[in-house]
Structure 1
Amino acid sequence: MLEGYRPRGEVEEADVSRIRDLLGSADDPFSREIPLHVTGSAVIVHDGRVLLRWHERQQAWLQVGGHGDPGETDPLAIALREGREETGLSDLTPRGDLLHAVIVPVPAKGAEPAHEHADLRYVLATARPEEARPEKPTAPLKWLALDEAIDAVSEDNLRETLRRVPERL
């Protein structure tokens, strides 16, 4: 899953090391039952713009993505499925391979304890941006120029992901 992937910088090197340890030790590294588990996400692009989704739990504009369904073991396939579900875009196509590997802390909510996502991030392209529709009213979508998107997000790790997007345009 991370074969050939080269982390950039000390923070990503540490994250990738932990993700590799997870992949080598967990029976199911995608299981939500373990405190660190793999997720797949993506920045959706069209004509130099990126699509962000409001995430109610984090109260922030983020990329699309999330957990694998039972039996899913391909983070790119997870990112594609989640991207389609969260945006209604049916024509999403990958732009290259893994863009960024990040461990993201997730706060506790209700009965769910705090945990971490080993988030594997990709770039997906659409030719039909006008067809983007939020999956629910509390998760609006917003197309932004790349520099506007970098300013709109609150997480440094997502800013770094967005800074890498031009490599795939």
Structure 2
Amino acid sequence: MRSPADPHAAAVDLLSDWIAPDPGQEVLRREFVDFLAGHADGVWRSCSPAHLTAGALIVDPERDRVLLLLHAKARLWLPAGGHCEPGDGSLAATALREAVEESGISDLVLHGDGTPLKLDRHPAPCRPGVADEHFDVQFLALAPPDAVPALSDESHDLAWFGYDELPTPTADDVHHLVAAARGRLAADGEPNGPGAAGRAGSPV
């Protein structure tokens, strides 16, 4: 595998090796890989008409709840996420950094050693008229029990929500993302406890 110091190369490696969970996700995986092959700057915000982003659904598995943020630009309840920055080195590092910054929870860990949970393509709110789409790589982040989030200037609000009590308005994909997170945790047989969160995750 190539050096993770190059986020573009690391993204290519990650998505080339990732085993998609269903045919729809496999179509997206190939689209993401093809996009990166044609755009050497595809992981950076400056890339037009699209670029990769990374995010993380923050889950408290002990209390069966997720942390969502009321995004200041999109005005939707969304998971944490954003653009790659110099020094991130990988999409997993971007996702974890954004999750920590936007949630105020410093000891989050990525589940599955930074394996993507889901891919999504959606309109890009960051540069209207310049960048049309985000190719978003979504991860699963585990919060420790009793984690207390803190609002950042990226959002108007943030709150915990039960798996079946998601707020409105939110993007349709959030429901699919929560379902994917629940499926992965259930498939891993992860008990609802702090020890499991610590063992299953990686600080990346």
Normalising by structure 1, report the TM-score: 0.87
Matched, 1:39 2:29: no
1:13 counterpart SS class: helix
For 2:69 and 2:156, locate their aligned partners in 1 and report how far apart those are by CA, in whole Å. Answer: 6
Report how far residue 108 of structure 1 moved.
Answer: 6.8
Q: Percent identity?
A: 30
After superposition, the C-alpha distances for 1:32-55 in whole angstroms (9 at most, x for unaligned) are: 122221111011011211000011
1:132 corresponds, among 143, 146, 149, to 149
Alignment-mate amino acid for residue 70 of structure 1: P
Aligned match for 1:99, one of 107, 114, 117: 117
Cα gap change, 1:137 to 1:119, in 2 (>3 Å)? closer
Give unpaired runs (5+ residues) of structure 1: none
The structure having more radius of gyration, on CA atoms, is: 2
Instruction: Compute the displacement of 1:128 (Å).
Output: 4.8
Whether 2:177 is the aligned partner of 1:161: answer yes
Equivalent position of 2:86 in the other structure = 70
Q: Does 1:86 align with 2:102?
A: yes
Aligned residue pairs total 166
1:153, CA displacement in angstroms? 5.2
What is the match of residue 27 of structure 1? 40
Q: 2:198 is matched with which residue?
A: none
Alignment partner of 2:164: what SS? helix
CA RMSD between the two structures: 2.1
When normalised by structure 2's length, the TM-score is: 0.73
How far did residue 23 of structure 1 move? 2.0
SS at match of 1:152: coil
1:70 alignment partner, SS class:
coil
Paired residues of 2:58 and 2:143 also in contact (CA < 8 A): yes
Asked whether the equivalents of residues 5 and 98 of structure 1 are also in contact (C-alpha less than 8 Å), the reply is no
Moved more, 21-30 or 151-160: 151-160
Which of 48, 51, 67 is residue 67 of structure 2 equivalent to?
51
Distance, in Å, in 1 between the alignment partners of 2:30 and 2:123 is: 16
